[in-house]
Structure 1
Amino acid sequence: MSDDPIPEPTENLSLEPLSRAIGERYLTYALSTIMNRALPDARDGLKPVHRRILYAMRELRLAPNGPFRKSAKISGDVMGNYHPHGDSAIYDAMARLAQDFAMRYPLVDGQGNFGNIDGDSPAAPRYTEARLASPGEALMVGLAEDSVEFRPNYDGTLTEPVVLPAAFPNLLCNGSSGIAVGMATNIPPHNLHEVVDACLHLIKTPDARDETLLNFVQGPDFPTGGVLVEDAETLREVYRTGRGSLRLRARWQQEDLGRGTWQIVVTEIPYQVQKSRLIERLAELIQTRKLPVLADVRDESAEDVRIVLEPRTRSVDPAQLMGALFKASDLEIRFGVNMNVLLDGRVPKVCSLKEMLRAFLDHRRDVLLRRSQFRLGKIASRLEVLDGYIIAFLNLDRVIEIIRYDDDPKAGLLAEDWAAPGDPAPVHLTEVQAEAILNMRLRALRRLEEIELRAERDALLAEQSELVALVADEGLQWTRIKEELREVRDRFGKSAPGGARRTDISARVDVQPLDMDSMIEREPVTVILSQMGWIRALKGHQPLDAEVKFRDGDGPFMSLHAETTDKLMLFGSNGRFYTLNAHELPGGRGLGEPVRLLVDLPNDAAIVDLFPWREGRKYLIASRPGDGFIVNAGDILAQTKSGKQVLNGEALLCRKVEGDHVACVGQNRKMLVFALSELPEMARGKGVRLQKFKDGGLSDAVCLTLAEGLRWRESGGRTRTEPDLTEWLGKRATAGRMAPRGFPRDNRFDPV
């Protein structure tokens, strides 16, 4: 380690602890991500990139009834003027705003390939065109009337709105999702008509509860439809806390094909599920025989979704078949609700339904007040000019004389004393009035123009008095907001095209589970497991010692007879049992598949045994050190690929329990026979000591009937019998005696 002194800080160098420096910079990054990228604003429901896209399209005058512009032009303007990030990210965000399967109320009207529900990406921006959609335009109504704050853009050359006026509650209507630093958001879309009705009720009853608001907002309304399968209590809890999980299913119907045959047609799939991947998953279920009752799946979709499911047999109940498909595929999903938003654009908070509606309504009130103040300023300026015009008409000859003969007409107009209507005292013109009079056209000197000016002045005075009363009275403000919300509801509500509710909400109905075993055709198979762990199933009961091809360097490990309806139990040296379905095993034409692809057996765990599961049967399991117990068949059946932990320790063997005694032999070739009743029955654990060893551990064990003795096969193929086992009979956990003469050299029982 060097002893050189630490250099003194220079002008561009500061010394501080690394932890503090990293912490401050990470906090800066986290705040930037939360506020400028991931979380939407509760007032307009937009993230900065979406807000800048809409504002840039407005600046390009891309109105809903106007022409389209190239998407490359739009994304280029957004990147160059407001959002200095990747143009591909900007285009992807704009494309999503135009997707009717992603947005309940699209904010952008796209022309060209903007992607589809299959998951295909949009075409390149040079091939597509876009303009504002009507809902997108509604978010910016009043933007030119100082309704919101503006801030400088990234380089200070332009200004951009901090938030949009938002004529409707876009956050709830279109939803939002994003992942920030340490927090995330996932808000489902809702029906605009229902949300506006809830807003109107909240204006009428400010202390309304979330439960009351659910009388108006039934629940999420996804653009792809579907059926929300949740009860009222779950929905109340989700909207009260802002968090929860909702179950969304595909919409399906049964089509009668005549003569007792039928098929299922899926017409709507869950939100954000890619149709192509869904069909691939359904096809995989058919190919792997995980759902044998399903015979075929076809995609007959055109503009609408139409997925046809054919059953293998018409005797199956359609509801049970769909219940099985809901569990095995994305025909049913869980939509996690996390209503985390930015309040006032600064504070992230998980909000309830009422809090989100209140944030929107408070924003609309601020917009209304700002627009009213802006309009009052415009009216005051116009009234000033109109008063000057009227004074000019009353003193027209003198005005013409000053303009015609004075060297400085403006100074002459300002210095003159003028007679004003309704005011006996002379008045002076302001500079604004004098400038307006000098710029007046000769055509405006006619009598009719004076009448029109007075009528305009009276109308502006009436509007001014209304606005003054509006600004001073909160009740009038909420009345005006209600009128504006009703206009939006009439424009985009359920009576408008596409405004009706698409997602149905129903209570969950439990369907009797489908008995898969009854749907599997029962056939005999021969299961072959190789030394390297490759498994396959040959049709029929083949001789177990028949020659079978294996990969180079591989060979036979074990083979057994089973049926396609059987469940096979694989016992690993890690003490876990794994369940394999015989009908799902690869066929015998090939060389099989690695069993570790079918179950999550670790690479460092060896395969101890493989056998068909039989209900009511018992098994003796033992570890290499010599501990073991008896386990029931029902306690070893695993429901997942990860298996079920039964034996604690390194597993050595698993033997079917039969007879009345247990014979075990250790690595020291000492054998012990004891009563089977001395072993406990357990569901999981280490077990008890089978035999006492001074050195080494257990080699093998087997169950037998004491009266029949012990038989084993010698190396020459002859059968050897030891009828009297009295010499080896003892208590469990004793040492035992040397094995009988002729016992196999490998210290393993090979029962005949």
Structure 2
Amino acid sequence: MSSDVPDPTDIDAAAVESVRIEDEMEQSYIDYAMSVIAGRALPRVEDGLKPVHRRILYAMHEMGVTSGSSHRKSSSIVGETMGDYHPHGDSPIYDTLVRMAQEFSMRYPLVDGQGNFGSMDGDPAAAPRYTEARMAAVSEELLSDIEKDTVDFSANYDDRLQEPDVLPAAFPNLLVNGSSGIAVGMSTNIPPHNLGEVIDATVALIENPEATVEDLMDHVKGPDFPTGANIVGRDAIYSAYKTGRGRIRVRAEFEVEEFGNDRERIVISELPYQANKARLVERIAEDVTDGELEGISDLRDESDRDGVRIVVELKRGANTEVVENRLLENHLEKTFGVINLALVDGQPRVLSLKETLQEYVNHRREVVRRRSEYDLAEAEERAHILEGRLRALEHVEAVVDLIQNSEDRSAAKEGLRETFEFSADQADHIVRMQLGSLTSMEAVEIEEEYEEVEVEIERLEAILDSDERLDSVITEELREIKDEYDDDRRTSIVEDAGTVTHEDLIPEEEVLVVMTEDDYVKRMPVDAFDPQGRGGKGIIGADVKEGDRVTAVFRANTHDYLLCFTNHGQVYRLKTYEIPEMGRTARGKSAVNIIDLDPGEEITAVVDTDEFAESECVTTVTRQGYVKRTAGEAFENIRTTGLIAASLEEGDELVDVEVTDGTGDLVVATEGGMTIRFEEGEVREMGRNARGVGAIKLEGDDAVAGLVATGDAEDGRSLLTVTERGYGKRTLLSEYRTQSRYGKGLIDIKTDDRNGPVTAVEAVDADDHLIVMSERGQIMRTRAAEISTVGRNTLGVTVMDVAADDAVASVDVLPAVEDGEREASDDAE
């Protein structure tokens, strides 16, 4: 190594400190994080301002750009702030200035702007060279008495000037205007409030330090957003005020108006806080275009400077309530996450409502105390001067002679101090007095001023000697600010009627669901089909395409959960309202868009249930005569791809399903007209993957047609049997004696060429209504009482007049109780 180059290892060891790099990085990151937290992102609890807000307002104060002055170019204000106090670039300073001037961002704007300062549509403000600003009157209250040593000052970034660490803040700005910011590892989001309500709560806390959050909420009803709208529910408000955190739902304000020929429109007049109006209208339009929001014919934004007005015109006949709820669900509600985080003594803290107000009160007490001390010192100094002037007036001739005969000012001052025992300040003041102040009128004025100063000294001393007097000053000043700036609450608080869900948008009604072999499905209102006499042809219930046929029709409520069992032994779960509603002559929608069916798989049975009782089982029967019971809880968690409901042998299919409770018997009917009745207990509970046990011995090519559960009460109930050619009969269940499982059974109905094979069996009461549907889509509703009650082994009567190329596909039962209720409702109308 060259002798001219110093050896880096040849250093005094005392100047080198060894540290672990991870420790250094950790400490450096902590220092950076605290710098961001305290210096950029979080407001102080005392004045509710971040450094950039505070520096802008103080710079305007120093420039004299107050509410009483003319507006000044924003670029000038930004430049002064950046040059003297905030060396972080002009863009963030101007952005902050703009926000403080926006009426839709600040509940009480701190800056009075002139020019384009942006809009609710997300439009940016004009460049700072085009806009002008000055302090708003309310912001001057934040800086009032700052010159009276009420707050601490620190050197600015280059030590040229002093800037306030916090503003005196004559009102609780943190709650009044709120704040938001993201720091390192934490964030704050404080909503704005009504100034009058916050001041009332502050006064209440001063008068009663033991007041609870509930007591303070008698005054502060909730956040008060500059854009108005509605807060949904009070529980979230209470949580936010109690813990400092909460999630508040804010809902737009709107009303329904009539216009044109029996048409309605929804007019939105207030939006949730911080909502982008243009983007909101755009998203509504996108949903209308995509078909996700139906019933809207036109959408316009008619907003102007006077306020928001978004018009949603509805189509004639559209369900207004459904459109309203869909708009609320996707567009007109917004959640405001409250995080009441602020800097307290330089440390971030999440504060309750009471803690926030208490910290403000403590700050205000310190401000008023320091101001009173400052004013007292000023008053005592003035009183001291006035005492000297009064004494000088008492000896005016001697004082004048002494001054006149003195060599210079210094000699005159010294002579006054020695002769009349004046203090240095008094002597200096007397020497500089004008002769005109020696008049008798002037003497009277000095005496009056001295008395006034003495009264002021007594008042200030009383404030400093009594906490009660100090608090009364704070209370009085707060009430004066309320009288000056208070206004009406803009945001209303409405009761929480529950979260709007997709299900809430669907009217609850009884419907018929029709399914075809090619997996087309639809639903129709039950009331669309009036009861007919037995033997009718019915009316069109579905437009079945060539080669397709109806396989099932069943009744359900639009809000019911349906378990759909297929011939392949799978089970799927869906809500009835997920099936599209269509007219009688419509074909339906492909079920593959609703249920993931395999090729050749079709739905053969549907169970209508929300949840199973502990004792209930799902009982299934297959075409080859196997029956089994599975606990209902095994079907509670069904994937979208379905579950196995029964294991089937090759060539077998699942035919029918019943929900049973173990208290009755099971009746299995075959296509050849045979039935067997046995106790449900003869079939033990099995898992979903089990095949089951034999229910009936089938002869020849016979196959199972259906399953009936008698239940624990069968008095007067009949077994309805309907054949493919539209014939059927009712036979009392009591005529079917109980046998052992897996027997040949008894003859139920003759299945000759006239009747054809059995299609469906149901347990019915005489007052029940029947829904019979043919493979070609004809549907008929009739009363069970229209079908004669006869014995077993008979031909039956015509239930439905089925065409030669058609056949009965399915039969479902409308229970008598529901039908009675429906008829009673019809009578009431």
TM-score between both structures, scaled by the size of structure 2: 0.63
Q: How far, CA to CA, are the matches of 2:279 and 2:649 in structure 1?
A: 50
> Which deviations, in whole Å up to 9, do the C-alpha atoms of 1:585-607 show, x marking residues without a partner?
xxxxxxxxxxxxxxxxxxxxxxx
Per-residue deviation at 1:704? Answer: 4.8
1:302-451 aligned within 5 A: 302-303=304-305, 304-316=307-319, 318-329=320-331, 331-344=332-345, 346-416=346-416, 427-451=420-444
Q: 1:159 aligns to what?
A: 162
Q: Which amino acid aligns with 1:149?
A: D
Q: How far, CA to CA, are the matches of 1:706 and 1:500 in structure 2?
A: 71
Q: 1:504 aligns to what?
A: 492
Q: 2:252 aligns to what?
A: 250
Determine which structure has more spread, i.e. the larger CA radius of gyration.
Answer: 2
The one of 182, 192, 207 aligned to 1:179? 182
Q: 2:700 aligns to what?
A: none
Q: 1:129 aligns to what?
A: 132
Cα 1:635–1:509 shift into 2, 3 Å: closer
The one of 452, 460, 469 aligned to 2:462? 469
Secondary structure of 2:366's aligned partner: helix
> Which deviations, in whole Å up to 9, do the C-alpha atoms of 1:610-632 show, x marking residues without a partner?
xxxx96544599xxxxxxx8332
Contact 2:142–2:169 at 8 Å: present in 1 too? Answer: yes
Cα 1:141–1:659 shift into 2, 3 Å: closer
Q: How far, CA to CA, are the matches of 2:101 and 2:15 in structure 1?
A: 48
Secondary structure of 2:493's aligned partner: strand
Secondary structure of 1:265's aligned partner: strand
1:500-579 aligned within 5 A: 500-510=488-498, 513-515=504-506
Secondary structure of 2:61's aligned partner: helix
Secondary structure of 1:160's aligned partner: strand
Q: How far, CA to CA, are the matches of 2:256 and 2:646 in structure 1?
A: 60
Cα 1:68–1:323 shift into 2, 3 Å: same
Per-residue deviation at 1:49? Answer: 0.6
Q: How far, CA to CA, are the matches of 2:644 and 2:261 in structure 1?
A: 63
Per-residue deviation at 1:348? Answer: 1.3
Q: Which amino acid aligns with 1:354?
A: K
Secondary structure of 1:488's aligned partner: helix
Q: Which amino acid aligns with 1:269?
A: L
Per-residue deviation at 1:387? Answer: 2.2
Cα 1:221–1:438 shift into 2, 3 Å: same
Q: Which amino acid aligns with 1:127?
A: Y
Cα 1:389–1:564 shift into 2, 3 Å: farther
Moved more, 131-140 or 256-265: 256-265
Q: Which amino acid aligns with 2:133?
A: A
Q: 2:288 aligns to what?
A: 286
Per-residue deviation at 1:405? Answer: 3.1
Contact 1:656–1:703 at 8 Å: present in 2 too? Answer: no
Structure 1's unaligned 5+ residue stretches are: 419-425, 494-498, 519-559, 567-613, 622-628, 640-645, 661-673, 692-700, 708-730, 733-752
The one of 60, 66, 70 aligned to 1:67? 70
Contact 2:263–2:315 at 8 Å: present in 1 too? Answer: no
Identity of aligned residues (%): 40
Contact 1:35–1:342 at 8 Å: present in 2 too? Answer: yes
> Which deviations, in whole Å up to 9, do the C-alpha atoms of 1:193-239 show, x marking residues without a partner?
11111111111111011011111111110000001111x33322221
Structure 1 runs of 4+ with >4 Å offset: 5-14, 560-566, 635-639, 651-655, 657-660, 674-682, 684-691, 701-707
> Which deviations, in whole Å up to 9, do the C-alpha atoms of 1:433-486 show, x marking residues without a partner?
222122222322222112211211111011101111110011111111111011
> Which deviations, in whole Å up to 9, do the C-alpha atoms of 1:469-524 show, x marking residues without a partner?
1100111111111110110110011xxxxx11000101023578223999xxxxxx
Q: How far, CA to CA, are the matches of 1:380 and 1:688 in structure 2?
A: 95
Q: 1:632 aligns to what?
A: 572
Cα 1:116–1:654 shift into 2, 3 Å: same
1:16 matched to 2:8? The reply is: no
Per-residue deviation at 1:686? Answer: 11
Q: How far, CA to CA, are the matches of 1:146 and 1:166 in structure 2?
A: 13
Q: Which amino acid aligns with 1:406?
A: S
Per-residue deviation at 1:690? Answer: 12
1:129-148 aligned within 5 A: 129-148=132-151
Contact 1:295–1:310 at 8 Å: present in 2 too? Answer: yes
1:605-620 aligned within 5 A: 617-618=564-565
Cα 1:214–1:9 shift into 2, 3 Å: farther
Q: How far, CA to CA, are the matches of 1:327 and 1:8 in structure 2?
A: 73
Cα 1:563–1:475 shift into 2, 3 Å: same
> Which deviations, in whole Å up to 9, do the C-alpha atoms of 1:113-159 show, x marking residues without a partner?
01111111111000000000011111111111111111111111100
Q: 2:112 aligns to what?
A: 109
1:483 matched to 2:476? The reply is: yes
The one of 638, 656, 676 aligned to 2:601? 656
TM-score between both structures, scaled by the size of structure 1: 0.69
Contact 1:659–1:706 at 8 Å: present in 2 too? Answer: no
Q: Which amino acid aligns with 1:254?
A: V
Structure 2's unaligned 5+ residue stretches are: 1-6, 510-517, 525-560, 580-593, 606-623, 655-689, 692-829
1:169-318 aligned within 5 A: 169-230=172-233, 232-303=234-305, 304-316=307-319, 318=320
Q: How far, CA to CA, are the matches of 1:197 and 1:659 in structure 2?
A: 69
Per-residue deviation at 1:635? Answer: 9.5
Per-residue deviation at 1:562? Answer: 6.4
Contact 1:150–1:159 at 8 Å: present in 2 too? Answer: yes
Per-residue deviation at 1:703? Answer: 7.9
Cα 1:8–1:348 shift into 2, 3 Å: farther
Secondary structure of 2:472's aligned partner: helix
Contact 1:286–1:292 at 8 Å: present in 2 too? Answer: yes
Contact 1:118–1:277 at 8 Å: present in 2 too? Answer: yes
Q: How far, CA to CA, are the matches of 2:361 and 2:46 in structure 1?
A: 8
Q: How far, CA to CA, are the matches of 1:466 and 1:21 in structure 2?
A: 56
Contact 1:262–1:314 at 8 Å: present in 2 too? Answer: no
Task: Give the alignment's Cα RMSD to 1 decimal.
Answer: 3.8
Q: How far, CA to CA, are the matches of 1:689 and 1:563 in structure 2?
A: 22
Q: How far, CA to CA, are the matches of 1:458 and 1:95 in structure 2?
A: 49
Q: How far, CA to CA, are the matches of 1:348 and 1:706 in structure 2?
A: 68
Q: How far, CA to CA, are the matches of 1:223 and 1:107 in structure 2?
A: 13
Q: Which amino acid aligns with 2:52?
A: V
Cα 1:427–1:235 shift into 2, 3 Å: same
Secondary structure of 1:292's aligned partner: coil
Secondary structure of 1:131's aligned partner: strand
Q: How far, CA to CA, are the matches of 1:274 and 1:509 in structure 2?
A: 26
Q: How far, CA to CA, are the matches of 1:659 and 1:488 in structure 2?
A: 75
Q: How far, CA to CA, are the matches of 1:90 and 1:244 in structure 2?
A: 30
Secondary structure of 1:401's aligned partner: helix
Per-residue deviation at 1:285? Answer: 0.7
